Amino acid sequence: GYGLALWVDIFCAVLSGAAYADLVYPKTPDGKPLPSKIGHFFGAWRVDAFRPLEEFKAAMDDLQRRLKNAPKAEGQARIYIHGEKEYEEAERRAREGIPLNPKVAADLRAIAEELGVEYGLE
């Protein structure tokens, strides 16, 4: 964990000239927050420069399988890999729609009536 966190700080901050470590959230001498100076890093790797692409894909499939088949914590039926819950939720929302807070829906309905436009969010 520490090595990965340090790598992220180096690439996102030190390399780009942004704030790093405890400098990310600066404060005035009396403790008031100042604007942060956050940096970002976007990288791309040519996998086939490291190993054949099909071998990489097979190893990634194996890693995913091993993670998902690891012993589960008590009371847990499933292990999720990063992004899996969000992906499944996006698929569900695409099929079923996105729920609206009843107050927001009522406000939108009132605005539609006021403007004389059809309210089609049912």
Domain locations in the chain as residue ranges = 1-43
Convert the pLDDT of each residue in 36-53 to its tens digit: 899 999 999 999 999 999
> For residue 13, with 0-12 CB atoms within 10 Å meaning exposed, 13-18 middle and 19 or more buried, which class applies?
buried
Quote the pTM value: 0.59
Convert the pLDDT of each residue in 4-15 to its tens digit: 999 999 999 999
In the chain, beta strands by DSSP E:
none
Answer for the pair 119, 109: CB distance below 8 angstroms, yes or no: yes
- Residue 61 has φ and ψ, to the nearest 5°, of -60, -40
Distance separating alpha carbons of residues 29 and 33, to the nearest angstrom: 10
